[in-house]
Amino acid sequence: MPRVLIVEDDPDVRKAVQLALRHQGHEVHAAGTGEEGLEQLRPFRPDVVVLDLMLPGISGLDVCRRIRDREQVPIIMVTAKGDDIDVVVGLEAGADDYVVKPVQARVLDARIRAVLRRQDAPVPDSVRPRPQVHGELVVDRAGLQVTHRGEPVALAPSELRLLLTLSASPGQVFSRQQLLEAVWEHSYHGDIRLVDACVKRLRGKLGELGGDTRHIQTVRGFGYRFGTP
């Protein structure tokens, strides 16, 4: 049974989402503030965090950053409709996906199940592949691990999936829509901000480790590719 932690300050919304997700077969814990959410994170060990950006006390963005500092659990953020800046900032802070208010239980359940599938399932291969070596960066597709100079690279689920998808076909250009469908399973003409924000986070993490961020190359007017700098 998937474990979901909801962090939402509106008691009516919190209760409605909690009941709906329980009806969908999830084990759900709920918190009304960012502080409460962070306190529940370790003892509950959720599979997914559903995080409202507008919280009293510690903001949703700060909660997102603090979770990312200690955990790689998938985060689905909830934002008010039309708050484009909040969406971009939230994605860059480490969220894996987002939904807009008013939250539709079926949509949220579908996003939760999709992010869990992405976390558990590797990019398909016909045979068990050997780790790919790209200079000091090693991508172990079978083990779902990435190392730099022998040290593990902590990647959120969407970041790992994006790197696995791009590195599976070095030199191939992927459009943002192709990456949206492969990494996030959004089959509709979706929000390319998910892709751009994830690329930015991935490049940032590689750069912080002293790695070469040019592995993830932008092809203007088309999308991205994985290449040798």
The helix/strand/coil state of 63 is: helix
CA-based torsion, 119, 123, 128, 130: positive or negative: negative
pLDDT 10s digits, 74-103 = 999 998 866 677 788 888 889 999 998 888
Domain count, the chain: 2
Three-state SS for 89-115 is HHHHHCCCEEEECCCCHHHHHHHHHHH
Q: Which residues constitute the domain of residue 78?
A: 3-120
Residue pair 104/17 in contact by the 8 Å Cβ criterion: no
Q: What is the pLDDT of residues 123-174, one digit of tens each?
A: 455 445 678 888 888 988 878 888 888 888 889 888 998 999 999 889 999 9
Residues 62 and 83 in one domain: yes
Q: pLDDT by residue (tens digit) across 56-71? A: 899 999 999 999 988 8
The verdict on residue 16 lying in a domain is yes
Residue 137 domain-assigned?
yes
State the alpha helices, DSSP H only, in 153-192.
157-167, 176-179
Q: Which CATH number goes with the domain that contains 164?
A: 1.10.10.10
Domain-located, residue 219: yes
pTM: 0.81
CATH number, position 45: 3.40.50.2300
- End residue of a domain, out of 65, 95, 120: 120
- 171 shares a domain with 142: yes
Tell me if the bond preceding 124 is cis, omega within 30° of 0. no
125 domain-assigned? no
Same-domain status, 7 and 116: yes
Q: Which of 63, 92, 120 is the last residue of a domain?
A: 120
